[in-house]
Amino acid sequence: MRASLRFSVLLLATAACARSEPADLVLRQGVIYPFGIDSAAAEAVAIRDGHIIYVGSDGEAKAYIGSRTRVIDLGGRMVLPGFHDTHVHPRGGIGLREVVLDEAESREAVLELVRRYAEARPDLPWVRGRGWALPLFPDANPRKEWLDTIVPDRPVYLTAADGHSVWVNSKALAVAGITKTTKDPVDGRIERDPATGEATGTLRESASRLVEMHLPAYTQEEIRAGLTLAIEMANRYGITSLYDAEAEVEVLAAYAALDSAGQLNARVVAALAVDTRAGPGQVDSLRILRAGHTGRAYFQPRAAKIFVDGVIEAKTAALLEPYVGGSSRGEARLSPGGIDSLVAALDAAGFQVHLHAIGDRAMRMALDALANARMHNGPRDARPIIAHLQLIDSMDIPRFAKLGVIPSFQPLWAWEDDYITKLTVPVLGPARSRHLYPIGSVARTGARLAAGSDWPVSSMNPLEAIEVAITRRAPGAPSGPAWLPDEAVGLDAMLRAYTQGGAYAAFAEGTNGTLEIGKAADLIVLDRDLYRIPAAEIHVAKVVLTLLEGRQVWRDSSAIFRGTPTPSRP
């Protein structure tokens, strides 16, 4: 109580000082949800030099308006802290210039898109794209012959929507030298015809690298353009902070160049890519790489990313019990001892450890490794993250809060889509499938939730994901039974996951994540108050204005504001 009183006195003193000069920008007549110490809704916010100097009533906001103050009348619109996407792959922006297959709803539609793209670009040495959905194909195993009929003269390389499988044609297999005698690489699988033993054209996990190593490298200009496209999309969805879940060396260089040029319109925390086969010996080189990018305005490579397993749909996720109909439990990418030593070494070097874990065995290995690192290195403010969290054994759910591990869910996946009904439930069985994406169970333990999209695997729009987390149904689905309703969470919890939780995961809670005096003016304006509409309509809401440190990085041109809106960065 004394601490709260001291903080209130400090805010009053800060506010009093702030009144000595007018604000650069005042947003009035809104419904503002600060999500700070006092989360009561306000009506106005004042900004100067990119920071918040007032949050409160509309009447008192007039004291901050001077002759040069820009004033926007929000007309009752909702204001929130900028969203954080705590697991995303902005490099996917490069793919927006290639074959985009996300919307294709049949095999024929996929092939038609590839055909049109290839015919329009006869000079490209490779046809590349991403986004084909596994449920569109029998056993999630598309054939090389289907691509051969439409692109016989050039290699084709198409990444699946989940990023864990690749579909190639015969030309690509030939370039890579893949034949029926080629052995599966470690942590990968070449799908083969059961009758002939020949590669079918589908490559799982690390097997894709056999072809990938022959792809023409992207230029720095192409990478920067791709990142810029991805960040423009993020801003459009109200995202002001991104957690790049796996950034290679060339991507780090592109972020640094954009930041130096003043062209990075989001805060970016990057996780350096970790080679699970290289062990702790790589930590020194990762530390050097991190040190080369310190002191930047919006870009920090503070984390390290480890893949513990693959995905359930391809039976590459690591399970405690075998997949239905066989003896395989899937393969973890490291042994228990291997992940323990690697995580401990990264933790000792001050990295925030970010782990991909899908299966319940992978989840336990990840939690065990983080507990081991704490035991060996001593407690510190490490804030490790485990992302995806599709299947968690009930014994492990309380461990997130106990170990201080941040669960980064992708809430948009928490409904009964084709991936669940056609590929997941059949290989897990009904008993295990009752525990998929247990957001509610983890939240009830008191763990600090964060949330992300895993874009380009799925939509980057936080509003769609928030709706699914609440309804456990598809965005816009008519009313009906929720899928695993005990795992649903409320609007307040999800908004905090996308604001406060994301800021905490980025070690940025002192800078953003809430709308409080002294914090950066990273905020968004929505066209409606989410608390006043049915949950099934949340996905219809739109972000109409996004500010990063008070600068406009997105504005919906159809939205009409009274007043003078803030200019964008030149």
Give the tens place of pLDDT for each residue, 138-153: 777 899 999 999 999 9
Q: Answer whether residue 566 shows pLDDT above 60.
A: no
2-82+517-563 and 92-212 agree in CATH topology? no
pLDDT one-digit tens code per residue, 299-315: 999 999 999 999 999 89
**pLDDT the model gives residue 386:** 98
pLDDT of residue 568: 53
Q: Per the structure block, which two tokens stand in for 434?
A: 């009752």
Question: Cα–Cα distances in Å, from 199 out to 138, 146, 149, 311?
Answer: 16, 13, 17, 21
Q: Given this model, what pLDDT does residue 37 score?
A: 60
Q: Residue 19 has what pLDDT?
A: 57
Full 3-state SS string of 478-529: CCCCCCCHHHCCCHHHHHHHHHHHHHHHCCCCCCCCCCCCCCECCEEEECCC
Confidence class for position 13, pLDDT limits 50, 70, 90: very low
CA angle 348, 351, 356 (to 5 degrees): 115
pLDDT of residue 11: 46
The sheet carrying 543-548 orders its strands as 31-32, 78-81, 523-526, 543-548, 551-555
- Measured at the CA of 487, the angle between CA 486 and CA 489, to 5 degrees, comes to 105
Bridge partners for 320 per DSSP: none
What secondary structure letter does DSSP report for 446?
Answer: T
> pLDDT at position 261, please?
96
| Per-residue model confidence (pLDDT) at position 8 | 43
One CATH from 3.20.20.70, 2.40.10.10, 2.40.30.210, 2.30.40.10 for 2-82+517-563: 2.30.40.10
CATH architecture of residue range(s) 92-212: Roll (3.10)
The predicted-structure confidence for 35-61, as pLDDT tens digits, reads as follows 876 567 899 999 999 999 999 999 999
Tens of pLDDT, residue by residue over 182-233, are: 999 988 999 999 999 999 999 999 999 999 999 999 999 999 999 999 999 9
Residues in a beta bridge with 406: 385
Compute the mean pLDDT over every residue in the chain, rounded to the nearest whole number.
Answer: 93
Report residue 425's pLDDT band, with 50, 70 and 90 as the boundaries: very high
Average pLDDT value for residue range 473-480: 90
- Per-residue pLDDT, averaged over 342-371, amounts to 98
- pLDDT value of position 565: 54
Query: What pLDDT is stored for residue 41 in this prediction?
Result: 84
Using the Cα atoms of residue 105, residue 111, residue 114 and residue 116 in order, give the sign of their dihedral: negative
Q: What pLDDT is recorded for position 137?
A: 87
Global confidence as pTM: 0.90
pLDDT at position 14 is 47
The domain segmentation of the chain, as residue ranges, is 2-82+517-563, 92-212
pLDDT tens-place string over residues 229-270: 999 999 999 999 999 999 999 999 999 999 999 999 999 999
* 6 vs 522, residue with greater confidence: 522
Which residues, in sequence order, are bridge partners of residue 168? Answer: 157
Identify the CA nearest to 409 among candidates 366, 350, 454, 369.
Answer: 454
